[in-house]
Amino acid sequence: MRTLLSVLTLSFLFFSCDDGEIITTELTFGNTFKTCGDIVFYKTKSEPAESLSLLVTTPSIELSDFYETVPTTENPYLVELVDTQLVVNITGNNVLNYRSYASLPDNLFCSDIPPANIQVTQDLNSGGKALFTMDLIEDDNDGIPAELEDLNGNGDLYDDDTDGDGIPNFLDADDDGDNVLTINERPNYTAADGLSMALDTDGDGIPDYLDDDDDGDGVLTRDEENTTQDQNPTNDITNNTVGPDYLNPMVATAVPATAYRVHSIKQKFVVTLNLENLTFDVVTQQFLDFGTLDDPSTNKTRTVTPTF
């Protein structure tokens, strides 16, 4: 898991010459922005009531374009972004706008019907350039931090693949390929103990989540589906007192598996926006960090089923 913490402060100087006094207005926004429509990126605050917004019509884009991925040439189970950057010239129908208000209306940018009685006290447009940068973070959400799935300790998460199914452990929801999800094999990770408390049913020194024969009975866990062959050994139980057959060394009947289970991989798309060469009527600024997109669509899940 990665955490991004920052504070974004945007400062503009507005000058009034009515009485020779210089008036300074400081705009302080959070470090995120939102989006809606075709396509508006915006950020607002209520004290004072202000907004910054960027309308992009050229090129014609949709939010999904920022999240488009394709399989890598090296591994069909891995994906990469189609585009990692998008540059938009702020000119013509692409509009960057700063506004201040008597009070901030509700749902200012995303309402089908514009809010009534909007009192705009200042309205400024700017030219310049918008630079979107896209990044993709993936994780198997198995309860084990990605850095602890670097089993050989070389700093490369992609060359650790315990079951050899082509999905590296940090993206593999079933690290040992036994058709029991890693998170259900009780890795028992804590910040204090790491993985030292991981369950090891047969006491062979290999934690269950990396052991393809959890009970040590000589039959692979994925082959202990004596009741239903559905790529889920947890629901095959001969003795209700002991539990699933794959954890019962007294049951050693092999029913050879024919497939791996479906794997789910969590995706977090990180879209950041920087503005360059701003030219508002009363201020020129070379660079402005607009922040990181805050939208539910940035969180997705993809599924893969390794070849058996």
- Label the pairing between strands 32-36 and 283-293: parallel
DSSP 190: B
Distance CA 119, CA 98 (A): 14
Q: How many CB atoms lie within 10 A of CB 252?
A: 14
- Rg for the chain, CA atoms, rounded: 27
Q: What is the pLDDT of residue 2?
A: 37
Q: What is the pLDDT of residue 46?
A: 84
Q: What is the pLDDT of residue 95?
A: 94
User: Which of 6-20, 184-198, 272-286 is the least confident region?
Assistant: 6-20
Q: Give me the mean pLDDT over the 124-139 stretch.
A: 96
Give 14: exposed, middle or buried? Use CB within 10 Å, 0-12, 13-18, 19+. middle
Query: How do residues 244-270 score in pLDDT, each as one tens digit?
Result: 999 999 999 999 999 999 999 999 999
Q: What is the pLDDT of residue 110?
A: 83
1 band by pLDDT with thresholds 50, 70 and 90? very low
Q: Give me the mean pLDDT over the 122-143 stretch.
A: 95
Q: Find which of 92-96, 98-102, 220-224 is predicted with most confidence, using mean pLDDT.
A: 220-224
Average pLDDT, the chain: 89
Query: How do residues 150-208 score in pLDDT, each as one tens digit?
Result: 999 999 999 999 999 999 999 999 999 999 999 999 999 999 999 999 999 999 999 99
- 2: helix, strand or coil: coil
Token pair listed for 176: 């040992």
Q: What is the pLDDT of residue 25?
A: 45
- Label the pairing between strands 32-36 and 40-46: antiparallel
Distance CA 242, CA 161 (A): 31
pTM here?
0.87
Token pair listed for 210: 């990396």
Q: What percent of the chain has pLDDT over 90?
A: 73
DSSP 7: -
Q: Give me the mean pLDDT over the 78-101 stretch.
A: 95
22 band by pLDDT with thresholds 50, 70 and 90? very low
Phi-psi category of 57—alpha, beta or left, where left has phi over 0 and alpha has psi -120 to 50?
Answer: alpha
- 185: helix, strand or coil: helix
Q: Which of 14, 20, 62, 19 is nearest to 37 (CA)?
A: 62
Q: What is the pLDDT of residue 283?
A: 66
